[in-house]
């Protein structure tokens, strides 16, 4: 699981452009682009560990779940950022990551 968490960090943060990060709360193209890149990176990195079919299933299911989580949490973080409530902003970012890790954990258990 530490490997998957590392890949999640790379895919969710390092591979997310500034445009995606700043616009995913209000633009479905930005959110979809972020999730598409996330899903591709997750899939490519996890296929060697999980195998072809389970790796693709893992990435696709997590891609859908990632879209749902970010659709909700990006709107909340955007609101708190605009209000300059940085405590609530970072608390929401942390909760977003918790939800992603829960999804990764349960989907891995399900596909393997």
pLDDT in tens, 68-101: 999 999 999 999 999 999 999 999 999 999 999 9
CB atoms closer than 10 angstroms to residue 110: 11
C-alpha dihedral sign at 74, 18, 98, 105: positive
Contact 108, 100 (CB under 8 A): no
Would you state the pLDDT for residue 112?
A: 85
Mean of the per-residue pLDDT values for the chain? 96
Identify the band that residue 1 occupies on the pLDDT scale cut at 50, 70 and 90: confident
pLDDT in tens, 33-55: 999 999 999 999 999 999 999 99
Per the structure, the complete domain to which residue 67 belongs is given by 2-111
Contacts of 45 (CB under 8 A, 6+ apart): 7, 10, 11
Q: How many domains does the chain have?
A: 1
pTM: 0.92
């Amino acid at each position: 699981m530490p490997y998957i968490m590392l890949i999640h960090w790379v895919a969710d943060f390092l591979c997310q452009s500034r445009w995606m990060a700043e616009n995913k709360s209000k633009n479905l193209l930005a959110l979809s682009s972020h999730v598409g890149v996330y899903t591709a990176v997750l899939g490519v990195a996890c296929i060697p560990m999980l195998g072809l079919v389970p790796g693709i299933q893992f990435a696709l299911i997590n891609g859908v779940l990632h879209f749902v989580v970010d659709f909700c949490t990006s709107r909340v973080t955007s609101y708190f950022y605009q209000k300059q409530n940085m405590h609530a902003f970072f608390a929401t970012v942390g909760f977003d990551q918790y939800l992603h890790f829960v999804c990764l954990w349960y989907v891995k258990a399900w596909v393997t």
